[in-house]
Amino acid sequence: MRAVNHPAPSSAPLPVTHYENFPVASLLCPPQLRAPIAVIYTFARTADDIADEGNATAAERLQDLADYRADLQAIAAGAAPSPRWASVFLPLAGILRSHQLPIPLLDDLLSAFAQDVAKTDAAAGYADRAELLDYCRRSANPVGRLLLHLYGVQAPSALEQSDAICTALQLINFWQDLSVDLPRGRFYLPEADCAAHGVQRTDLLARRNTLHTTQLIADSADWARSSMTKGSPLVHRLPGRAGWELRLVVQGGLRILAKVDALRGASLHTRPRIRAWDGPLMLARAWAM
């Protein structure tokens, strides 16, 4: 489970590797929140590596994620974690106490990581958009809600806008990573959407760039763009640096969608990326927001 790639933070104390939902301790992040955000990021990144990295079997990954979840439940109850991931859970225990983090949001992330393992192992996809949105609710939306919690923003409408942005970022990552995910047996294009466009799973496995696959990818990009547009007013509700951080996140996601559209289905073979020369355009559009 990955979110859309953003430019690497300029002052991150941790290397940005696989789990890129977090603006980890960037210069735009309020200084007092850099440490808690980095701790939460480490929690998510470590779980992501358990699910994705190395040569473990699916059963071994699921067991490791269950053990990881047990450590989360232990520190939530005030008990000590196991020694295996003490470097993750001891700092997290302190953040849980000092910032009263909602445990269910962290648990939702682990649920989504486990689902990724199970879905890949079964070579299964998502039946429709509702099922994929439920995955996004657990894989991406908790990140935004955790950040809003740290910023002290709790208005229901702000949470809904955050969910829309995070869901959009997750969808954008799916459409950005088609050339990477399909060979790994990860099918995020919903079966109902594929059927509506006359696309078979064999077309996707063969990564055939046809009129039908092009239309399917364009429709999927429009879906993500609509979600981003719905959530983008949130940038005006976050103060100072946080609002500017979010403006750049939104514009980064929209820029990736523009590149997906420009490839006209060739994202089945090519992974569009943010390049250095995209920076001035993103900054100008962030300013215009």
CATH number at residue 274: 1.10.600.10
Structure tokens at 145: 């809600």
Q: What is the DSSP string of 130-165?
A: HHHHHHHHHHTHHHHHHHHHHHT---HHHHHHHHHH
Q: Which of 122, 216, 121 is nearest to 178 (CA)?
A: 216
Assigned domain for 226 exists: yes
Query: Which pLDDT band holds residue 1 (cuts at 50, 70, 90)?
Result: very low
Whether residue 145 sits in one domain with residue 250: yes
Q: Which of 288, 168, 176 is nearest to 231 (CA)?
A: 168
Whether residue 261 sits in one domain with residue 220: yes
Query: Which pLDDT band holds residue 27 (cuts at 50, 70, 90)?
Result: low
For residues 238 and 116, what is the distance between their CA atoms, to the nearest angstrom? 32
Whether residue 153 sits in one domain with residue 72: no
Whether residue 155 sits in one domain with residue 100: no
Assigned domain for 5 exists: no
List the domain range (segments joined by +) for residue 139. Answer: 128-289
Structure tokens at 160: 């809904």
Mean pLDDT of the chain: 88
pTM of the predicted model, to two decimals?
0.88
Query: Which pLDDT band holds residue 244 (cuts at 50, 70, 90)?
Result: confident
Q: pLDDT tens digit string along 8-20? A: 333 333 333 344 4
CA distances from 115 to 112, 138, 164, 253 (A): 5, 10, 21, 24
Assigned domain for 21 exists: no
- Mean pLDDT, residues 241-260 taken together: 90
Whether residue 152 sits in one domain with residue 243: yes
Whether residue 227 sits in one domain with residue 271: yes
User: Cβ distance 210 to 203 under 8 Å?
Assistant: yes
Whether residue 117 sits in one domain with residue 73: yes
User: Cβ distance 185 to 123 under 8 Å?
Assistant: yes
Q: pLDDT tens digit string along 86-109? A: 999 999 999 999 999 999 999 999
Structure tokens at 67: 């053990």
Q: Domain end: 122, 137, 171, which one?
A: 122
Assigned domain for 10 exists: no
CA distances from 283 to 6, 12, 235, 280 (A): 13, 20, 14, 5
Q: pLDDT tens digit string along 148-190? A: 999 999 999 999 999 999 999 999 999 999 999 998 888 999 9
How much is the pLDDT for 9? 31
How much is the pLDDT for 261? 96
Is 122 or 222 the better-scoring residue by pLDDT? 222
Q: Which of 288, 254, 240, 283 is nearest to 29 (CA)?
A: 240
3-state SS assignment for residue 181 = helix
For residues 140 and 1, what is the distance between their CA atoms, to the nearest angstrom? 8
